[in-house]
Structure 1
Amino acid sequence: MVAKIRIEDRGCPLSAALSYVGEWWTILILHDCFDGYSRFDEFQSNIGLSSSVLTSRLTTLVERGVLERSLYQTKPARYEYVLTDLGRSLRPVLVAMAAWRNAQLAAQDRQMILVDTRTGREVEPQVIDPVSGDRVDAEHFAFTAGPAASDAMRRRYTDHDGSARPEHAVP
Structure 2
Amino acid sequence: MVKRVSLWNSGCPVARSLDAIGDWWSLLIIRDAFDEKRRFGEFQNGLGISRGVLATRLGDLVRRGIFETAPASDGTAYREYVLTAKGRGLFPVIVALRQWGEDFLFTEGEERSSLVDHESGRPIARLVIRSADGRSLDWSDTRVTA
TM-score (norm 1): 0.73
Match of 1:52 in 2: 52
Instruction: Say whether the 8 Å CA contact 2:131–2:137 is kept in structure 1.
Output: no
Q: 1:3 to 1:84 in 2, by over 3 A?
A: farther
Q: 1:126 to 1:15 in 2, by over 3 A?
A: same
Q: Which has the larger radius of gyration?
A: 1
Matches within 5 A, 1:26-65: 26-65=26-65
Note the C-alpha offset of 1:86.
0.2
- Structure number with greater CO (CA < 8 Å, separation at least 6) is 1
Does 2:23 align with 1:19? no
The count of residues paired between Structure 1 and Structure 2 equals: 142
Note the C-alpha offset of 1:144.
1.9
Unaligned runs of 5+ in 1: 146-171
Matches within 5 A, 1:1-171: 4-5=5-6, 10-72=10-72, 77-104=77-104, 105-106=106-107, 108-129=109-130, 131-145=132-146
Q: 1:6 to 1:36 in 2, by over 3 A?
A: closer
Instruction: Say whether the 8 Å CA contact 2:7–2:19 is kept in structure 1.
Output: no
What residue identity is the alignment partner of 1:121? R
Q: Distance in 2 between matches of 1:132 and 1:56?
A: 43
Query: CA RMSD for the aligned pairs?
Result: 2.4
Q: What percent of counterpart residues are identical?
A: 37
Q: Distance in 2 between matches of 1:16 and 1:6?
A: 6
Instruction: Say whether the 8 Å CA contact 1:126–1:135 is kept in structure 2.
Output: no
Note the C-alpha offset of 1:124.
3.9
Q: Distance in 1 between matches of 2:38 and 2:140?
A: 40
